[in-house]
Every structure is written in C-alpha cells, then in structure tokens.
Structure 1
C-alpha cells in the first residue's frame, strides 16, 4: 500500500466521484479507478457503494477514512520535523470569513517575513470553516467566536461591533418586517446574532435573501434592495462617503469576536506556528 493511494482514496471519498477526484489530482480517471481497486484488493473489502451518480463510502470505507487521515497526518508531521524552522516554506491553507478588518495587516507582515510560504485563502461562513478545520482540510481559519468544541484551539484576534446597514439614513426596527434581509448563508456568526435578536423581539422578517460574498451583499444594500448586518469597521468608508448608513444593534447582540482556530491535536508546522505568532504580535501592536 502506498501513501499516495490513501490520498487518492480520500479525494474520491470527498467528491463521491472518480472523475472529479481525477480532475483535482490531475490524473486520468482509469488510474484513479485502478488505485481504488488495488486498495480494495489489498484490504480484501469493498470501500464504496457504487451507483450511477457516483460513489458513497460504505462502513468499511468510513473506517479507512479515519485511519488514512491519521496516517497521512503522521507522515506530514514526520516531514515537518526536518523543516528549517527559521525559514518556513510550503503551502499554508487558511480559511476566513470575508469581513476581517485585521487580516490585511497580518498577511502583509507575514508575507514580508516569510516569502517562501504560499498562502492559500478560502472564504466561507463560520460553521463550514469550522468543519474544514476539524476534517484537517484547512490548517486554520478566522471565524466568528467563541467556538466550543473539544478538538478546537482558539486565539482571539479582534473584537468589533455589528451594525445594521441600509441605503436610507432613517431607520426603525419595523423595517425588517417590510424589506428583505440580505445575509450570508446559514452558519454565519453575524446572521446568528441578528436572528437571535429578532427572535427575542418577536420580529418575523419579510424575506431573507442569501448571498455568498460581502461585495454582493453591500452592493445590493447600496442599491436599496434590502438591509444587512455586518461589522462596523468593514463599511466605515462607505458610511463616511454617504453610500450607506449604519444603525446601532442593541446589547447583547452587537459585539462580535473574530478568532483564529486550529485543530488542537494536529501537528503545528513551522509555517503555521509563525503565522499564529504573527497574529499575536499584531494584536499586541494594535493594543
């Protein structure tokens, strides 16, 4: 059994498709199929339920998935022990919610110190990014906190205030019952705060329109389509020039904390350790 076969197996399991796995891995489909069949032959068991639309892990496949993650994690740990700790390199995969005001400073400082590291940034909502970190598909992520999970270690990055944002200067809470709310998909920490506030006030929104990016949401608000909730710092320039207007969110729903999370039992590479050190350094500098 080769370590690469386990990587191929994990990719097929993630996509539920040989063709999609082959595309991601830049392999021909026949090679991926052959490696999966060889793995099943070596283990003397089928690993997938096969159907017309793809492949789904069977119970034995799910067992192997857990073992393969542990095995490959240990292999990666072994490789990292031979790294040059003073000059980290390689790929660092970081997740992020889109409205982190402190992120550009952290990235700029990190890049200037460690130019050999390739940073891969992936945007998403908090719940999705949390699962990606737990599944070890990301080295870490900036999310809305706090997070209470036994596998997660977290460090506070910044505290901010949430505001409601509209096209018009005049606003009352009743507007939520008359106009659409423009929000990130479910799993977003900002959305959860707003929904908790509305539930406490007994407010039922007229309509919720879901978007995937900050640019689309704030552009739609500026066009007068609806209302959103967002960290105050992310729209300060737009408020200053009169493009949109911000409105207070009451306690205890107005404060939001951005944290950086990692899986606590995963190996901390030098690239990740230096990145976490940079987060702490920038926080101290800003205080």
Structure 2
C-alpha cells in the first residue's frame, strides 16, 4: 500500500472535502482525486460516496481512517526512533485546558523551553473532550485534562486538584444556597469543557433548571462579564484569586461533593516515548510534586 496515497486519503477524510485536502496538501484537486481513485483500485473498494454536497466516507472508508492514522503515526515514530540524539529535539504538541495553561503551566513551560530550546514545542488550549480526541488520534503527544479519564488506550497520571467556586460580581451578596443561582444567567465555556459539565451535573443533582446559559470562548471574557454583573460562573479558585483580591469579582463556596476536580495528564499507551516527551514528563512531575 502506497504511503503517499494513505496521506492523501487521510487528509481528505479529515477535511471532508477534496478541494480542502488539495489546498492543505498543496496539490491540484485533480491530483487528489486521482490518488484516491488509485487507492480505491488498489483496495478494490469504494472509500468515499460522491454527491452534490461533496464527499462522505463509506463504511470501508471509515474502517481505513483509523488504520491510516496508526500507520502514518508509526512511520513518524520510526523516523524519530532512529535519530541518534541524546538531546531532546523535534516537535512536541501538548494540549491543555485554558485555565490550567493560564495558572499552572507558565513556569513549567518557561523552564522546559530554557532547558530544551531545540524542542519545537506547541501548546494547544481547549476543552477536555477535544484534547482526548487529539491524543487518541495522534494529533497531540499528551494533554492536561479534567480527570478521571477512563479509556483503554490512554494512560493518565494525576497532576493537581482544583477547587471550584461560584464567581459573581464583587457587589453580589453572599450565596447561602446553590439554589439561589436558578434565577441567574450562567456564563459557561463551549460544549466539551469539563467545568461546564461539572456545573451541569451539580445543577442536575440539586434539581436546578437554569434560566439562561451564555456560552463564551475565552476565560478572560467570562471573568470580565462576571465582573460587570452579566451573570455568574463556575471556575477554579486559583484562576480568579488575583481578580478577587483586586475587588473585581467575588467567590462563593459550593457543596464539597461538587467542589474538587482533578487535573490529569494523558497520553496514548502505544505512543513512542521520545526524548522530548520524556524530558517534559520529568519536568512536569518535578514541577507538580
């Protein structure tokens, strides 16, 4: 099986469009079409349905996607494994929840970069669900996510515990009962965020149906809008300590059974332990010990 054909197939499946795949690969669109046809002829099966709206994977194509990801990843691992270098080099992509990246990682990342400047480090922030998907599909070498994560293909290790608190405008009176939030607008991250899921679970357990949810894409926007009195949110105490000390917001404790969430670092069990990743794990463990 031609590796180049697999690369074209994988890109096309990921982009969901022959034209977008051609653009990403810097190929002519006709070249992408031809290579997919070559692969279909080689495998003697149709990989995509062609229709007016574009293309869709066939059942055979859906099966091949997972194998193509593994094959292409193993090839990249093989290239990394044969490089005889004791000094960590090359790419390293790590995912993180935005809150963890903002508070827990700056010192760690600065030290890692100073110690291993030859590593091409890339930090990707986003919700837990997206990072789990990224690690499983070999797009990330590892990620800081909300735990626990129960998946047979992933390893996890505890990093730190976060205390979750309700965050309101500084002028808001004390919240004596969680049921007081029912009439308030709740400011949350996008779907897939572990803190949003925790908020939803807490409300469900308490029998609370929120009046209105407003979704935001960044931590800074949520904190700013909470401070302005737009609504309330559920965030780690560590992320809002400075703003509370400055009198911009106010925090309120929630029932202990809902207040703690553990941040874990996940990676694939079958992934190659590159020198860059090994060095990162060592510095991460030292930093959080």
Into which bin does the TM-score normalised by the smaller protein fall?
Answer: over 0.9
Point out where structure 1 has 5 or more consecutive residues left out of the alignment: none
Q: TM-score, normalised by structure 1?
A: 0.93
Give the Cα–Cα distance (whole angstroms) in 2 for the partners of residues 32 and 247 of structure 1: 56
Runs of 4+ in structure 1 over 6 Å off: none
- The answer to whether structure 1 residue 271 and structure 2 residue 276 are counterparts is yes
Give the Cα–Cα distance (whole angstroms) in 2 for the partners of residues 150 and 171 of structure 1: 44
Q: Give the secondary-structure state (helix, strand or coil) at the position aligned to 2:258.
A: coil
Give the Cα–Cα distance (whole angstroms) in 1 for the partners of residues 54 and 142 of structure 2: 30
Q: TM-score, normalised by structure 2?
A: 0.92
Q: Summarize the alignment of residues 1-287 of structure 1 with structure 2, pairs less than 5 Å apart.
A: 1-100=1-100, 101-167=103-169, 168-172=171-175, 173-284=178-289
Tell me if the contact between 1:176 and 1:206 (Cα under 8 Å) persists in the aligned partners: no
**Which has the higher mean CA deviation after the structures are superposed, 120-129 or 9-18?**
120-129
Q: What per-residue deviation string (whole Å, max 9, x for no partner) do you get for residues 206-227 of structure 1? A: 1111122212211211221111
Point out where structure 2 has 5 or more consecutive residues left out of the alignment: none
Give the Cα–Cα distance (whole angstroms) in 1 for the partners of residues 43 and 201 of structure 2: 49
Structural RMSD (CA): 1.6
Give the Cα–Cα distance (whole angstroms) in 2 for the partners of residues 73 and 185 of structure 1: 30
Residue 85 of structure 1: how far off its partner (Å): 4.3
Residue 103 of structure 1: how far off its partner (Å): 1.1
Q: Give the secondary-structure state (helix, strand or coil) at the position aligned to 2:158.
A: strand
Q: Give the secondary-structure state (helix, strand or coil) at the position aligned to 1:181.
A: strand
Give the Cα–Cα distance (whole angstroms) in 2 for the partners of residues 104 and 176 of structure 1: 33
Tell me if the contact between 1:162 and 1:254 (Cα under 8 Å) persists in the aligned partners: yes
Tell me if the contact between 2:179 and 2:206 (Cα under 8 Å) persists in the aligned partners: no
